[in-house]
Structure 1
């Protein structure tokens, strides 16, 4: 048996309760991991509310998309992993627990110098940033990125990854303190959207040229401003729509500037797709974590049994960086 945080019914943070569950069985091609820390992400909140069902084969009532821990069992011939290895992993769900199973290809070694809490803050955001900015949007050295929500888990990862890969990052955030943090970790300019029109401010910051890629999880009324901010051949990549799934798009501007509007979700993609991202991250980004060019930003940790408090903090949007649960 093991301890796990369970969504007892759709609702607020209080529906998260710790319960005893059977330890998961390891299937062929998988590893069993003893979880030491689990990242908290906004999709976990959506799942708790009943709005983000788990893919087939994944427990629907235990949230958690990323963990770090110790490999306990391997069921893959010729696997690179062995019992005792310290890894972090991207999951389809089930991470708020003492043990998880996952396809071996979705595991990565913990970068040198990082502890379990820092490592657990990486997979969901780094996989998401890589597949959307570097693969879908085709980021090239020297390009400019705008990421909304610069001190979210996604934001702090995107800013640092783009800077490390030779680009310039711009961002929006809701307070002066958040803007200062975003600029400290590498943003060229962070705009407080509660005080300033971000379109005007970012046009001024870029010499009235705009940006090449916009990475957006806001949607709604941000959409026309995003279209205006994109340069010729610009790419708008959507991963959420927190201000609404409908936005106004000036199709003439899309045609005139030859813009691309795209988006994706990661959770339902297959193991091979996620394995390919893991390989690219290990090759291109993990060295920057090892030499501290990119640094995990963990805002606060909670013990597993306080997952409800962690979700309440996530929904308050008062955090800067990642929220992590510690296990055991």
Structure 2
């Protein structure tokens, strides 16, 4: 089968190319899915550069979310799928390819109202947002929440989940007024702050009368560490999911808020979790399907590329200008 590979094992986007590799065979409980579309995620950029700890069970091929058609089933599949079913799902890796082997418990039936592009952009995004809010961040109705990188796919999902979950206030940060307007006017966030032109932590404290926010979801890392401590409310939780600005803290960081405000700082990931943990989140995602259908939850696809333009797709993600998912299709 054809799949995306990386010249010399790692490198810039220009190192990506399509080549032939062996087609996977299903292990017990797995399906082989013929992929129609796959979603790009920031972890793909890190993995491409050799900066992501890939789980031992993952193939070297990039990609964790996809949509497609069940081609065959291995022994022991008990999740009600059959050959020919249209599905979407989450895998440990291997989605940048014509076929993927994946546990049937990580698949969902694709609703008819979702096209292949939309379905491919759902699993990683919505599962990560759910995990960050509820399993890690201990979000409850009435709490306030801050989503950094507000126009990123995970935060777009998170804002919608926060709204339906009864958040008292939903704040975001973003790098342009266009993105802030999108988060506030389109998604329903309470307010947004431009990290390029404003001191976002000071502005959030002003907006909350100095109280701060109960849950902070951060993908940025080092550059936001102090600001996150400053804006976290008493007994607040900071959920650390990524380190786009690095992991080494600058001199002068004041950690006194940990004790003074009893802050909980939790780092987490999804891809390294076992199948049972991921499967429970998949089950939660399944409960969202009616809300995707009635329009309560919206899926935002920013750009779609044929997978032959995988270099351009990765370069587009690196620009940090998208408002929603970047998807590649396989014809």
Q: TM-score, normalised by structure 1?
A: 0.95
Q: How does 1:176-191 map to 2 (within 5 A)?
A: 176-183=177-184, 184-191=186-193
Quick one: distance in 1 between partners of 2:207 and 2:19? 51
Unaligned runs of 5+ in 1: none
The alignment partner of 2:215 has SS state of: strand
The alignment partner of 2:256 has SS state of: helix
Higher RCO, Cα 8 Å, sep 6+: 1
Q: Does 1:235 align with 2:242?
A: no
Name the counterpart of 1:151: 151
Name the counterpart of 1:264: 268
The alignment partner of 1:118 has SS state of: helix
Q: Does 1:222 align with 2:197?
A: no
Name the counterpart of 2:96: 96
The alignment partner of 2:222 has SS state of: coil
Name the counterpart of 1:72: 71
Name the counterpart of 2:42: 42
Quick one: distance in 1 between partners of 2:209 and 2:118? 37
Q: Deviation per CA, 1:17-68, whole angstroms, max 9, x where unpaired? A: 01122211011011111111100011101111111243223221x2111001
Q: How does 1:1-328 map to 2 (within 5 A)?
A: 2-9=1-8, 10-60=10-60, 62-75=61-74, 76-111=76-111, 113-167=113-167, 168-183=169-184, 184-247=186-249, 250-283=254-287, 285-328=288-331
Kept in 1: contact 2:30–2:101 (CA 8 A): yes
Kept in 1: contact 2:79–2:105 (CA 8 A): no
Q: Deviation per CA, 1:218-243, whole angstroms, max 9, x where unpaired? A: 11131111111111110001011111
Tell me which stretches of 4 or more aligned residues in structure 1 moved more than 6 Å: none
The alignment partner of 1:114 has SS state of: coil
The alignment partner of 1:246 has SS state of: coil
Kept in 2: contact 1:112–1:290 (CA 8 A): no
Following TM superposition, by how much is the alpha carbon of 1:256 offset from its aligned partner in structure 2, in angstroms? 2.2
* Count of residue pairs the alignment pairs up: 325
Quick one: distance in 2 between partners of 1:198 and 1:86? 44
**Structure 1 residues 114 and 94 mapped into 2: Cα distance closer, same or farther (>3 Å)?**
same
Following TM superposition, by how much is the alpha carbon of 1:112 offset from its aligned partner in structure 2, in angstroms? 5.0
Quick one: distance in 2 between partners of 1:8 and 1:94? 16
Kept in 2: contact 1:164–1:288 (CA 8 A): no
Q: TM-score, normalised by structure 2?
A: 0.94
Q: Deviation per CA, 1:263-307, whole angstroms, max 9, x where unpaired? A: 112112111111111112222x33321211111110000001111
**Structure 1 residues 258 and 112 mapped into 2: Cα distance closer, same or farther (>3 Å)?**
farther
Quick one: distance in 2 between partners of 1:246 and 1:111? 44
Quick one: distance in 2 between partners of 1:304 and 1:279? 29
Kept in 1: contact 2:29–2:78 (CA 8 A): no
Q: Deviation per CA, 1:105-133, whole angstroms, max 9, x where unpaired? A: 11122245211101111111111111121
